[in-house]
Amino acid sequence: MAPRAAARLELLGFTKVFHYHAGKLDWMAAGLPTEGENAKRPRAGTVARNDVPVCALTDRVGQVRDRARAAGWDAAVAVNDDHVVLGLLRSAELDKDADQPIEEAMRPGPSTFRPYVPIKEMADYMTQHKLESSPVTTSDGKLVGLLLRSDAVAQAEGCPDCVRKMI
Site of interaction with another protein (CB under 8 A): 1-10, 12-28, 30, 32-39, 116, 164
Separation of alpha carbons 123 and 149, rounded Å:
6
Residue 4: CB minimum distance to another protein, A: 6
Residue number, 18 or 70, with CB nearest to another protein:
18
C-alpha distances in Å from residue 80, one per residue of 29, 58, 59, 86, 143: 20, 10, 12, 7, 10
Residue closer to another protein, measured from CB, 3 or 72: 3
**Would you tell me the crossing angle of helices 119-128 and 149-156 to the nearest 10 degrees?**
130
Q: Minimum CB separation from another protein for residue 119, in Å?
A: 15
The candidate with the shortest Cα–Cα distance to 111, out of 94, 76, 144, 135, is 135
Strand partners, 63: none
Q: Which is nearer to another protein, 78 or 162 (CB)?
A: 162
Q: Which is nearer to another protein, 41 or 90 (CB)?
A: 41
Q: How far is the CB of 161 from another protein (least distance, A)?
A: 11
